[in-house]
Amino acid sequence: MAALEVRGLRKQFGGVVALNGIDLDIDTDRVVGIVGPNGSGKTTLFNVVTGVHPATGGAVFWHGQDITNIGAHRIARKRLVRTFQQAMSFPGLTVDENVRIAWEQGRKGDGRWASPGMILEFVGLAPLSKAIAGSLPFGSLRRLGLAVALGVSPELLLLDEPGAGLNDSEAQAFAAVIAQLPPQGIGVCLIDHDMDMMADLCDRLIVLDFGTKIAEGPPGEVLADPKVREVYLGPDKKAAAS
């Protein structure tokens, strides 16, 4: 049984069907990537799974327990933690305090992190611990977002476009940090558009289009799938691309 099981998940915003019966099984010992064109429902999937938006139908199970619509903070306390696409922080507080808040909520690191400083060390923000979060450059802000999420001692981390807005070297450094998580018992499920990075980083890829899962499997296989190529490159350009 997978740690996170999503069964027939539906989400409708008025007449728009953002998620149309999604089934997923995600384990906590690897990196799983979710890809898909804009508007395919990737972020909505995260939002519904983590309780930010209520589900219209279907169910989400975490270790066999139904967590559908139980509220965002309760889901986070079950150590299913997410980051946000917009690089969120507590902008008026220091970097240290940002992480400390999460660390205290996550039962003080649950043995994994003895102090918030260790998390900052891990993501490479230790020299900036006294800085005000709102004054950080964007790359550091991304790392702070990860540090805050790690502070909650997640078992599974849902990262929503952690590389967005980073330059190549920053994104690579970030990917290196993410790759260190599964061996430490922190499963990762991430959304990103950088296909090269995703192919390197992920053990498994899931492709969404119009709120449905159209492919799933090892990256090499999935990216070679004609259905996936069609979604990404359009039917007419298929020949040209291959």
Partner 1 sequence: MPVTDNSAGKTGAAPEGARARDRLALLTADNAAVPLPAGVQAITAILLAVLLIALPWLGLGYRFLSIAITTLYTAIGLYGLGLQFGQAGIMSVGHAALMGVGAYASAILSVQLGLGLWASLPFAMALSAIVGGVIGLPTLRVGGQHYIIITFCFCALFVIVLTNGGTFTGSATGLDVGSVTPLPGINFDKLSNNYYLVLAALFLAVVATYLIGNSRYGRTLRAIRENEQLARSVGINVDLHKLGVLMVSGLFAGLAGVLQLYYLRHISPTLFGAFPSLYLALMVMLGGARYLYGPLIGAVVVNFLPEVLNLDPVDSRIAYGVCLLLVILLLPGGVGAGIKNIYCAITGGFETQKQRGSNGRA
Position among 2, 17, 59, 131 found at the interface with partner 1 (CB under 8 A): 131
Binders of partner 1 among residues 134 to 173 (CB under 8 A) are 134-137, 139-140, 148-149, 151-152, 170, 173
Indicate whether 55 belongs to the interface with partner 1 (CB under 8 A): no
CB of 194 to partner 1, least distance (A): 17
What is the layout of strands, in order, in the sheet containing 187-191?
Answer: 80-82, 156-160, 187-191, 31-35, 204-209, 212-217
> Is the CB of 139 or the CB of 219 nearer to partner 1?
139
Question: Binding string, 201-240, against partner 1, x = CB under 8 A?
Answer: ----------------------------------------
Indicate whether 179 belongs to the interface with partner 1 (CB under 8 A): no
CB of 69 to partner 1, least distance (A): 14
Angle value at C-alpha 8, between 154 and 231, nearest 5 degrees: 90
Interface with partner 1: number of residues (CB under 8 A): 47
Give the residue carrying structure tokens 């967005």. Answer: 164
Indicate whether 94 belongs to the interface with partner 1 (CB under 8 A): yes
| Number of neighbours of residue 120 by Cβ within 10 angstroms | 25
Q: How far is it, in rounded angstroms, from Cα 122 to Cα 23?
A: 33
Binders of partner 1 among residues 105 to 124 (CB under 8 A) are 105-106, 124
Indicate whether 54 belongs to the interface with partner 1 (CB under 8 A): no
CB burial readout 34-51, b (16+ within 10 A) else e: bbbeeebbbbbbbbbbbb
**Helix crossing, 116-123 with 95-105: angle to 10°?**
120
Q: How far is it, in rounded angstroms, from Cα 160 to Cα 191?
A: 5
- Token readout for 68 is 């559908």
**CB distance 153 to 107 below 8 Å:** yes
Binders of partner 1 among residues 72 to 91 (CB under 8 A) are 72-74, 76-77, 81-82, 84, 88-91
> Is the CB of 181 or the CB of 223 nearer to partner 1?
181
DSSP secondary structure letter of residue 89? -
CB of 176 to partner 1, least distance (A): 6
Cβ neighbors of 188 (< 8 A, separation 6 or more) are: 30, 31, 32, 156, 157, 159, 178, 181, 182
Position among 100, 142, 204, 213 found at the interface with partner 1 (CB under 8 A): 100
| Site residues for partner 1 per CB under 8 A | 50-52, 71-74, 76-77, 81-82, 84, 88-94, 97, 100-102, 104-106, 124-125, 127-128, 130-132, 134-137, 139-140, 148-149, 151-152, 170, 173, 176-177
